[in-house]
């Protein structure tokens, strides 16, 4: 838990969120500023600032995030979707607590990389 981290605040329940799913490792929330009809964020409860900081020991957690994304997408009835992780400022990351975007509901094209 990092004191000045908004997603740690959400995990701790100190900051309100629209929670979709929770287990012992992750929570899933609706994005506050959705960029698609369905836009959720899968985030680990444990604070890791960025994918650039993960280590081998984090591999099962990262895999679990994908499994949870698949489950949530299936439950939402999505036939197709995108999973996206922005890495560092130069990669478009704004919140420095690892999170995976689940985007669906229409065709979304990555226009800029």
Instruction: Point out the residues that are catalytic.
Output: 99
- Residue 7: name the closest of 62, 51, 108, 16 by CA: 16
Q: Which is nearer to ligand AMP, 11 or 73 (CB)?
A: 11
Sign of CA dihedral 37, 82, 109, 32: positive
SS3 42: strand
Q: Per CB under 6 A, which region of 27-35, 48-56, 61-69, 103-111 contacts ligand AMP?
A: 27-35
- DSSP conformation letters of 4-29: T-HHHHHHHTSS---EEEE-SSEEEE
Site for ligand AMP contains 20 (CB under 6 A): no
Site for ligand AMP contains 94 (CB under 6 A): yes
Q: Which is nearer to ligand AMP, 41 or 69 (CB)?
A: 41
The residues binding ligand AMP (CB under 6 A) are 6, 15, 17, 29, 31-33, 41, 86, 92-95
């Amino acid at each position: 838990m990092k004191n000045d981290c908004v997603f740690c605040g959400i995990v701790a329940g100190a900051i309100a969120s629209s929670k979709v799913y929770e287990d012992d490792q992750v929570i899933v929330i609706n994005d506050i500023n959705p960029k698609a009809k369905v836009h959720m964020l899968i985030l680990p409860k444990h604070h890791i600032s960025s994918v650039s900081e993960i280590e081998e020991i984090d591999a099962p957690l990262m895999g679990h995030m994908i499994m949870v994304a698949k489950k949530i997408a299936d439950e939402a009835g999505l036939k197709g979707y995108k999973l996206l992780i922005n890495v560092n400022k130069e990669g478009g990351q704004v919140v420095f607590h690892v999170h995976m975007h689940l985007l669906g509901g229409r065709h979304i094209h990555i226009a800029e990389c």
